[in-house]
Amino acid sequence: MDDLLERLRAGLPAEALLTDPDVTASYAHDMASFCEAGTPAVVVLPRTVEQVQHVMRTATALRVPVVPQGARTGLSGAANASEGCVVLSLVRMDRILEINPVDRIAVVEPGVINAVLSRAVNEHGLCYPPDPSSWETCTIGGNIGTASGGLCCVKYGVTAEYVLGLDVVLADGRLLTTGRRTAKGVAGYDLTRLFVGSEGSLGIVVGAVLALKPQPPRQLALAAEFGSAAAACDAVCRIMEAGHTPSLLELMDGTTVRAVNAMAGMGLPETTEALLLCAFDTSDPAADLAAVGLLCTAAGATEVVPAEDTAESEMLLQARRMSLTALETISSATMIDDVCVPRSKLGAMLEGTAAIAEKYGLTIGVCAHAGDGNTHPVVCFDHTDADESRRARESFDEIMALGLGLGGTITGEHGVGVLKKEWLARELGEVGIELQRGIKAAFDPLGLLNPGKLF
Amino acid sequence: MDDLLERLRAGLPAEALLTDPDVTASYAHDMASFCEAGTPAVVVLPRTVEQVQHVMRTATALRVPVVPQGARTGLSGAANASEGCVVLSLVRMDRILEINPVDRIAVVEPGVINAVLSRAVNEHGLCYPPDPSSWETCTIGGNIGTASGGLCCVKYGVTAEYVLGLDVVLADGRLLTTGRRTAKGVAGYDLTRLFVGSEGSLGIVVGAVLALKPQPPRQLALAAEFGSAAAACDAVCRIMEAGHTPSLLELMDGTTVRAVNAMAGMGLPETTEALLLCAFDTSDPAADLAAVGLLCTAAGATEVVPAEDTAESEMLLQARRMSLTALETISSATMIDDVCVPRSKLGAMLEGTAAIAEKYGLTIGVCAHAGDGNTHPVVCFDHTDADESRRARESFDEIMALGLGLGGTITGEHGVGVLKKEWLARELGEVGIELQRGIKAAFDPLGLLNPGKLF
């Protein structure tokens, strides 16, 4: 331990090292509740690539595990410390190095906040679409590590689709550059994509070339109320089958709607069983919304309310964005699931989730990126009640089993981390896990990078 | 050899095996000229996954290399036989297993022809965008192996962005399923993406889940003539910087235009130094084209001619699609390059290529997916002239060096194969190549899958 600190100090300014146990303890975990976390030996906050290389060389020399962190807004424990590790926080490497409107790229350091980048590129008439709910605080490096999604994905895809190239410090401190600054490129295996979603287990991302898009018109939304989740899911299928390309297609169940109203007095309709939000950022969004409104009515919507203007649309989005936070206020504890199914199975997923809630006698509120079939069932429980906690865990698992049975995945966008590592093997199977381990061994033969995550 | 045939026959119908040397010789190489190719020991044409597994188990047991093939329309020798190998042609596994308009996916076998799939999904109001020039004959499996591009990429991206999940037979015959049928998913490292563009070196793709998009309106095009390639490239930059999203943005230099006219009497303007084709499939393409026309004029276009209708637009596209073929008629032999640079460097790339042509005393025609910065310089030469052949090879290499110097890649969409394997190391560097080899070893420890390609 003394040796570790001494060696780290040799290549880092004093302000880059945190060793006070009260301070380092605050870096022990991300936003996932109930995931195991160890105590870091030290927290390092580098400002340069060379400093990151020094940390990794030191860690390799001393065989000390390293856990990379962004803003720790993750929901699966992927950034949780392991016992005695070096926490490597990239938040101070937060420069936007380039925004190029002709090449439509940005070159950034990993600690840049998603919203800061978004606003910076907006000034050039560009947009960086990936928008996880935590976009005001989460970092691009964290988004890359967890392959974040967001509300925009139904039209604009996920983080992975915007990462063109990376600078990565490997476990042994060597610097690897992957990918490209070009629109296309197929030179060798796609290492860039391999790092996206790897949860810091293959290397430390210290720089990224990101693709940008022209800024679309501001979106216009509508809200449709339904008497059942099944009817809302039917509407989702009709909208997608008809060939629409909404910029947002979100679902909040009755529990979620009431939780949002209780928290923020949003004035959403209290009696609805499912609220569907749909938006378009096309050249004529009102026309697109009118067509979607008819499809909602045909699917059984009890009311269809187009937003008056973009401000009212933004208010609806805000309501959706605060869904998880609002559901967390219902009980002393929550477990947030992230099952994604083919959208044709969304109705079955929601019905099955309701049945699981009833079976275990729990409240499970669901909000969903409905257009992607990506549901976030939030299991609410009293963590001081041992039996209720057990039922919560079992229902959480049963929701994943339900999703896999419907041809889905255990995680659409939150990642595996600590929370779902037992489940990864169930989804991928023996052959898949063996190959994943083979890749891990090729990149990190000593197993020092974020150990105990994913597998 | 007798042992190989005997063992293969034990698990395959007689019609699946080709052993006549005159026939098997015709499977020795793809469309890349001048790439080394060995003589296959046998060609196998399986119809089922089990048959592919039998082939791979046999090859592993006997340590015989296997070279997977689609329609052999590739341009880098990636499908070329190695001496004594089993050629595994997937062309008979050509079923479309599912088209799902709600989930917007297709499930296909690898031998499905790109155009057959495209037309089939069109009937459901959907489209499968990737459209390499060979789309009427190339297979989806080949597209996945080489990570094919096409004309649509400037708006719709490349093959990789449409591959959601794969069934893959590994070197030892085990079946791996990667990815998903869902719109999103982040469970573990992205093995799906790793296979795309791996040129058959990691496993045999025997099935794919492909993402589809709603069919856009038919595109409308314009042609703009320029007095220099530099002016045309300036127009490209202005168009992209202004935030336009054309569905096609292609460039043909004067040599290419004249070659296309000579071959097909297309009536393109003979005196132009650079012809830019731009198309939109938006709700009001005429308005978008008018705006682009003004930008072209501002960049120095000598003439801007909007197509009268979609039929005339399609004619312009046909002219562009036949560019490579037309350039091949200029001389007895050609070498087709595929350098992609940041689009802001496109002008420098074309000027540099012209200087290389002059330096070596050769004709080098260039067509380009200009919106992507992806150029196809075609080096024309007399292959019976040793000195000219040497100069062709040197100029071909110098074009790649030029592209790398401009921050580009040696291959935007044609792949590495045999043609560019010495160059891959130059682009990726020592660390990158070492990790690529590590991945190869994890998937194919005996090195039996398409040996001698990529590295």
- As a whole number of angstroms, the distance between CA B401 and CA A158 comes to 33
User: To 5 degrees, how large is the angle CA B331–CA B334–CA B338?
Assistant: 145
User: Is B405 near chain A, with CB under 8 Å?
Assistant: no
Question: Chain A interface, mutation test: which of B76, B126, B435, B449, most A Cβ atoms within 10 Å?
Answer: B435
- As a whole number of angstroms, the distance between CA A262 and CA A268 comes to 10
Which tokens belong to A447?
């197993």
Is B188 in contact with A432 (Cβ distance < 8 A)?
Answer: yes
Partners of B106 on chain A (C-beta within 8 Å) are none
Quick one: which of B40, B46, B37 has its CA closest to B9?
A: B46
Among chain B residues, CA nearest to A209: B342
Reply yes or no on whether the pLDDT at B172 is more than 90: yes
The three-state (H, E, C) secondary structure of A101-121, written as one string: CCCCEEEECCCCEHHHHHHHH
Q: What is the pLDDT of residue B400?
A: 97
Partners of A444 on chain B (C-beta within 8 Å) are none
Which tokens belong to B249?
């943005």
Buried b (16+ CB within 10 A) or exposed e, A340-371: bbbbbbbbbbbebbbebbeebebbbbbbbbbb
- For the purposes of burial, counting CB atoms within 10 Å of the CB of B426, is it exposed (0-12), middle (13-18) or buried (19 or more)? middle
- As a whole number of angstroms, the distance between CA B100 and CA A240 comes to 11
| Alpha-carbon gap: B181 to the closest alpha carbon of chain A (Å) | 6
Reply yes or no on whether the pLDDT at B33 is more than 80: no
User: Is A372 near chain B, with CB under 8 Å?
Assistant: yes
Query: Which region holds residue A157: left if phi is over 0, alpha if psi is between -120 and 50, else beta?
Result: left
Among chain B residues, CA nearest to A144: B186
Question: Phi and psi for B173 in degrees, rounded to 5?
Answer: 95, -5
> How far from A318 is each of A133, A315, A323, B109, B174, CA to CA, in Å?
10, 5, 9, 43, 48
Q: What is the pLDDT of residue B266?
A: 86
Question: Which of B154, B187, B436 shows the shortest C-beta gap to A188?
Answer: B436
Structural domains in chain B, sorted by start: 2-89 (3.30.43.10), 96-214 (3.30.465.10), 218-313 (3.30.70.2190)
Q: Lowest mean pLDDT: which of A279-288, B271-280, B310-319?
A: B310-319
Partners of A145 on chain B (C-beta within 8 Å) are none
User: Is B313 near chain A, with CB under 8 Å?
Assistant: no
Q: Lowest mean pLDDT: which of A301-315, A378-392, B233-247?
A: A301-315
Reply yes or no on whether the pLDDT at B53 is more than 90: yes
Question: Chain B interface, mutation test: which of A172, A414, A435, most B Cβ atoms within 10 Å?
Answer: A435
Reply yes or no on whether the pLDDT at A59 is more than 80: yes
Q: Which residues pair with B98 in a beta bridge?
A: B107
Is A103 in contact with B454 (Cβ distance < 8 A)?
Answer: no
pLDDT in tens, A400-441: 999 999 999 999 999 999 999 999 999 999 999 999 999 999
Reply yes or no on whether the pLDDT at A359 is more than 90: yes
- As a whole number of angstroms, the distance between CA A359 and CA A52 comes to 50
Question: Chain A interface, mutation test: which of B184, B402, B434, B454, most A Cβ atoms within 10 Å?
Answer: B184
The three-state (H, E, C) secondary structure of chain A, written as one string: CHHHHHHHHCCCCHHHEECCHHHHHCCCCCCCCCCCCCCCCEEECCCCHHHHHHHHHHHHHHCCCEEEECCCCCCCCCCCCCCCCEEEECCCCCCEEEEECCCCEEEECCCCEHHHHHHHHHCCCEECCCCCCCCCCCEHHHHHHHCCCCCCHHHHCCHHHHEEEEEEECCCCCEEEEECCCCCCCCCCCHHHHHCCCCCCCCEEEEEEEECEECCCCCEEEEEEECCHHHHHHHHHHHHHCCCCCCEEEEEEHHHHHHHHHHHCCCCCCCCCEEEEEEECCCCHHHHHHHHHHHHHHCCCCEEEECCCHHHHHHHHHHHHCHHHHHHCCCCEEEECCCECCHHHHHHHHHHHHHHHHHHCCEEEEEEEHHHCEEEEEEEECCCCHHHHHHHHHHHHHHHHHHHHCCCECCCCCCCCCCCHHHHHHHHHHHHHHHHHHHHHHHCCCCCECCCCCC
- For the purposes of burial, counting CB atoms within 10 Å of the CB of B67, is it exposed (0-12), middle (13-18) or buried (19 or more)? buried
Quick one: which of A70, A31, A7, A10 has its CA closest to A450?
A: A70
Question: Which of B372, B412, B431 shows the shortest C-beta gap to A186?
Answer: B412
Q: What is the pLDDT of residue A267?
A: 87
Q: What is the pLDDT of residue A276?
A: 98
Q: What is the pLDDT of residue A110?
A: 98
Which tokens belong to A446?
């000593």
Reply yes or no on whether the pLDDT at A33 is more than 80: no
> How far from A127 is each of A116, A214, A341, B301, B398, CA to CA, in Å?
11, 6, 28, 30, 36
Q: What is the pLDDT of residue A150?
A: 87
Q: What is the pLDDT of residue B382?
A: 95
User: To 5 degrees, how large is the angle CA B83–CA B450–CA B139?
Assistant: 110
Q: Which residue has the higher pLDDT, B175 or B34?
A: B175
Q: What is the pLDDT of residue B48?
A: 98
- Per-residue pLDDT band for B427 (boundaries 50, 70, 90) equals very high
- Per-residue pLDDT band for B150 (boundaries 50, 70, 90) equals confident
pLDDT in tens, B130-145: 999 899 999 999 999 9
| Alpha-carbon gap: A429 to the closest alpha carbon of chain B (Å) | 8
Q: What is the pLDDT of residue B119?
A: 98
pLDDT in tens, B335-358: 999 999 999 999 999 999 999 999
- Per-residue pLDDT band for B146 (boundaries 50, 70, 90) equals very high
Q: Answer yes or no: are the C-beta atoms of B153 and B135 closer than 8 Å.
A: no
pLDDT in tens, A119-142: 999 999 999 999 998 999 999 999
- As a whole number of angstroms, the distance between CA B413 and CA B409 comes to 10
Question: Which of B177, B186, B416 shows the shortest C-beta gap to A147?
Answer: B186
Give percent above pLDDT 90 in chain B: 93
pLDDT in tens, B277-310: 999 999 999 999 999 999 999 999 999 999 988 8
Q: What is the pLDDT of residue B34?
A: 79
Mean pLDDT across B154-179: 97
Longest dimension (CA), chain B: 70
Q: Answer yes or no: are the C-beta atoms of B81 and B67 closer than 8 Å.
A: yes
Q: What is the pLDDT of residue B32?
A: 87
How long, in residues, is chain A? 455
User: Is A176 near chain B, with CB under 8 Å?
Assistant: yes
Among chain A residues, CA nearest to B101: A241
Partners of A146 on chain B (C-beta within 8 Å) are 186
Partners of A245 on chain B (C-beta within 8 Å) are 214
- Per-residue pLDDT band for B74 (boundaries 50, 70, 90) equals very high
Q: What is the pLDDT of residue B218?
A: 92
Among chain B residues, CA nearest to A432: B176
User: Is A186 near chain B, with CB under 8 Å?
Assistant: yes
User: How much is the CA Rg of chain A, to the nearest whole Å?
Assistant: 22
- As a whole number of angstroms, the distance between CA A293 and CA A307 comes to 12
Is A184 in contact with B341 (Cβ distance < 8 A)?
Answer: no
Mean pLDDT across B349-368: 97
Q: What is the pLDDT of residue A246?
A: 98
